[in-house]
Chains A and B, each alone.
Chain A
Amino acid sequence: MKRVKHLIFWLVVIGIILLLFSSHVIAEDSFRQQRHALVDIIKAEVVTTRDYLNQEALDEPVLDALRKVPRHEFVRDAERPYAYQNRPLSIGHGQTISQPYIVAIMTDLLKLKKTDRVLEVGTGSGYQAAILAELVDSVYTLEIIEPLAKQAAENLKRTGYDTVHTRTGDGYYGWEEAAPFDGIIVTAVASHIPPPLIKQLKPGGRMIIPVGAQFMTQYLVLVTKDAHEKITTRQILPVSFVPLTGKH
């Protein structure tokens, strides 16, 4: 009887140890499942917004990037349980990580090719830069708030996105040495679009800017520069709220 008890005791101990060691794997697996579920939600939302986005679905590589990048690695521990909810989260210093749906749309609107060069102004947590790094070879990202820049660089390194070029500093003048860019994302816009950034956009390039306060993106501005360097903007409502005077 004693031996049986002994055996059970050790089995339980081994079980607990195994569980402890595998918990990481289990958690990762759970996060992966959540990530996939999130992408499904985003896909469904895009279908309802297609009139505004002028497209039926997001590009598959963008969705793949969302399925791959571990968003939970880019948020604070306290926010991890919410990492795969389709909502913005606080990252400290009065800044937020955008709603994944908005990240998806913004990335998609840049229409990137693998060989493109992209600049991000406002690194924040580094999540958007990681998504971009999944899609293109050269990503340059600038953050003015020093502790955030440091944290983002660590996040990117830890998650294997060490090819992303990070820099701490003012984004107004862009990244002159690496210019021109095929795509620019300005996540932290001041009172106007900085003229130097428009200059650093290649002919045929696209710039995307979310407008609104933290936690509340009101609309997106897509700036395009055509082959003749003519600038136009498109103001895009990320939700399907049409038409204004029509039936519901």
Chain B
Amino acid sequence: MRHVVFVLVTALVAPVCAETPGVLAVRNARIFTASGPAMERGTVVVRDGLIEAVGANVPVPADAWVIEGAGLTVYPGFTNALSAWGIPRQADTAPPGRRPVAAPLGPVARGPEDRPLNTSWVTAQELVQPGDPSIERARSGGFTSAVVFPGAGIFAGQGAWMNLAGEKAGHMVVASPLGQHLTLRTSGFTSFPGSLMGVFAYIRQVYLDADYYKASREIYAKEPRGMKRVDYDRALEGVLAAPRVLLPAVTKVELERMVRFGAELKRPVVLYGGHDAARAMEAVKASGFPVLVNLQWPERPRQADPAQEDSLRTLELREAAPAAPAALAKAGVKFAFYTGGLEKPQEIRAAAKKAVDAGLSREEAVRALTLSVAEIYGVADRAGSIEPGKIANLTIVDGDWFQERAKVRAVIVDGVKYEPAAEAEKKEEPAK
């Protein structure tokens, strides 16, 4: 048997792939499929961007480029469940999951009808720049994809599952739109909404208006004659297009509040934040809302006043946050991870490890970065696990990703292999 041995000879610049091989196999690797039990020794075959086969005894096709998997672990491609990766940073775009801040003043809004801080129609793919440095950094950290959301405004816009490689944003889109990203920003002192209360009232009115808009247009469409037409409202179009609503909630009070509020909206809701979930579990579980847990665990601010003691509440939240995923898993609540303000691959890994140290099993942790993300967004039919027919997104790690010294060897995105930039200089040994 002759195998084409895939040796990476790469430039230092991204994208760091060679010619796209049509067929690729990782053999004799440890495989976390996410959809089934982990395999200690197995082979994954990828063809034309899709997973062709996975199993302990899967033959390696003759035309495959082969990665020798000894010592390697293959995961479904890690996916950031809520991110702004690929969207060039703007001064006024806080990363998702950050506390709301007053947005810059636009025209003064006098009520919900002015649709302040509303760009609900904006899609992630409109904003994503394939060359944005965050994309390569994410791949270096083992991420093959991210659910990217616009982050500016109260109705920030619509998210898309983006694969983190490609010449054009359009190619990167796996599924869109996946949801409306809501934040609790205020307009500040002079413009509506100027308070958290106002934000709630605003969101509530917009969803009422959206339903009203939809119903009116349907009635009109049936018989336009004799009826005044309804004005086109792009803010409501955007709201209606999104199949689910993402609502922020970190503390117990916020989680319980959002569970109540989310139920009012009569739409699928996903909560994001989640640090205090253990204390709010009863409400969260009863709601049936999945939770996106922010991997950026709370910690004492670097610049804190040394004489300023943290409150017990603050300390308890810091203590509880990394244990929230384990608690969610135990309670049977669907959850996934997002990276919040974390950027460095090491920080992301350390944060996930903290959740494992706090009682989450590795399988569950991997799931929260892979299949659970896909399930929450309704794209598990094409992504999130290593199963035949699914998109060939794989994360290949030297050893166990949760170990500090483990290195991301490569990611495979849409069947194309990418190596971390920092490691690209090292040449791999040809397989024997």
- Interaction A to B: no
Tell me the A residues contacting B by CB distance below 8 Å.
Answer: none
Tell me the B residues contacting A by CB distance below 8 Å.
Answer: none
